[in-house]
């Protein structure tokens, strides 16, 4: 069992995706199972990690670990303590948001043997600049410090957009290091369609414009998983905005940048709980196709984009 802990959703999704890829390379026939600790109980977990008709092993992803009840916590701890001889051979990947809530669950599972992966804290501008420099270093490229500062100043509130721009600059620009003028030019007029641009079109434009942007992104080689991640981030923010407007949570509790919350509030009209649920389910289906190689991931993403432009309504 590996627990990814930290507040940044983008870093968490990247870390979990990397862990899933590694697990899949070792266990190509393992079944993929997603559980939400807010609703799953110990029996659901035990069934997920146990052998099934389809496979003797599973790759189980548990989100919202902080919400796990005592029964689920104890079942997960028992799984950690299993020996190789009596273990199921399954892999469990869990997500904790890094807050105080649910620390007892973390402590119990760590003591039982779970591995803890702590995500970087990108709350400070210096940390975000280090993230940009590291992103370029991973691609064996360099960016001038003032150019990195420029990217952080414009995109620092969204780690996903910041990462996408770093990757785009690496892909498109031969300069090494990339200077502030090149970075500024891309911030204002980029020729590439990113996953976040597709998500913006889906939330703000008509169906035709969103589908065109999606097909351009896919034609340019953008991974469907990156597009799905950007769309999911938009939907999560809209869901948080709906919860704030309904008085269920405060804006502070959502841990969302004020400008993002303001944008989500403007995008909220037309959305219903049923519509959000339908779109999230469609994205989950597309995500499964993209990660397992089953089905047509690009077609599934396009169906989800069309549904999002229609706010989840099933009318034609």
CATH number at residue 106: 3.40.50.300
Instruction: Take residue 285 and report the two structure tokens written for it.
Output: 């289906």
Say if 315 falls within a structural domain.
no
Which CATH number do you get for residue 182? 1.10.8.60
Say if 271 falls within a structural domain.
yes
**Which residues of the chain fall below pLDDT 50?**
87, 191, 316
Residue 295 three-state SS: coil
Residue range(s) defining the domain that contains residue 181: 125-188
For position 162, what pLDDT does the model report?
85
pTM here? 0.58
Query: Looking at 58, 86, 118, which one is the last position of a domain?
Result: 118
- Tell me the pLDDT tens digit for each residue of 218-251: 877 788 888 998 899 889 999 999 999 989 988 8
Same domain, 177 and 202: no
For position 189, what pLDDT does the model report?
52
Whether the upstream peptide bond of residue 177 has omega within 30° of 0, thus cis, is yes
Say if 99 falls within a structural domain.
yes
Same domain, 171 and 85: no
Going from the C-alpha of 250 to that of each of 37, 211, 213, the distances in angstroms are: 22, 34, 34
Same domain, 228 and 159: no
Say if 314 falls within a structural domain.
no
Number of domains in the chain: 3
Same domain, 78 and 151: no
Residue 268 CB partners (closer than 8 Å, separation 6+): 238, 241, 242, 245
For position 54, what pLDDT does the model report?
67
Residue 84 CB partners (closer than 8 Å, separation 6+): none
Instruction: Take residue 190 and report the two structure tokens written for it.
Output: 């980029």
Same domain, 39 and 132: no
């Amino acid at each position: 069992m590996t627990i990814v802990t930290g507040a940044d959703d983008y870093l968490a999704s990247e870390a979990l995706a990397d862990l899933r890829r590694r697990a899949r390379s070792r266990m190509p026939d393992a079944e993929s199972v997603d559980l939400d600790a807010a609703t799953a109980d110990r029996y659901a977990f035990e069934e997920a990690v146990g052998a099934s008709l389809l496979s003797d092993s599973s790759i189980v992803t548990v989100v919202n670990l902080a919400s796990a009840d005592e029964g689920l916590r104890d079942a997960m701890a028992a799984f950690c303590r299993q020996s190789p001889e009596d273990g199921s051979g399954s892999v469990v990947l869990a997500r904790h948001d890094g807050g105080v809530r649910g620390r007892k669950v973390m402590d119990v599972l760590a003591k039982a043997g779970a591995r803890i992966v702590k995500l970087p804290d990108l709350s400070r501008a210096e940390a975000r600049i280090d993230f940009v420099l590291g992103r370029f270093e991973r691609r064996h490229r360099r960016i001038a410090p003032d150019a990195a500062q420029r990217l952080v100043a414009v995109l620092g509130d969204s780690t996903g957009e910041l990462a996408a721009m770093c990757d785009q600059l690496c892909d498109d620009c031969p300069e090494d290091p990339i200077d502030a003028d090149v970075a500024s030019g891309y911030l204002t007029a980029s020729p590439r369609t990113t996953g976040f641009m597709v998500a913006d079109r889906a939330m703000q434009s008509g169906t035709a414009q969103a589908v065109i942007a999606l097909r351009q992104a896919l034609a340019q080689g953008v991974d469907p998983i990156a597009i799905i991640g950007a769309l999911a981030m938009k939907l999560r923010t809209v869901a948080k905005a709906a919860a704030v407007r309904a008085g269920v949570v405060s804006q502070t509790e959502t841990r969302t940048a004020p400008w993002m919350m303001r944008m989500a509030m403007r995008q909220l009209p037309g959305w219903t709980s049923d519509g959000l649920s339908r779109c999230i389910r469609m994205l989950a289906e597309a995500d499964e196709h993209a990660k397992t190689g089953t089905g047509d991931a690009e077609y599934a993403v396009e169906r989800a984009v069309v549904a999002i432009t229609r706010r989840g309504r099933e009318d034609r």
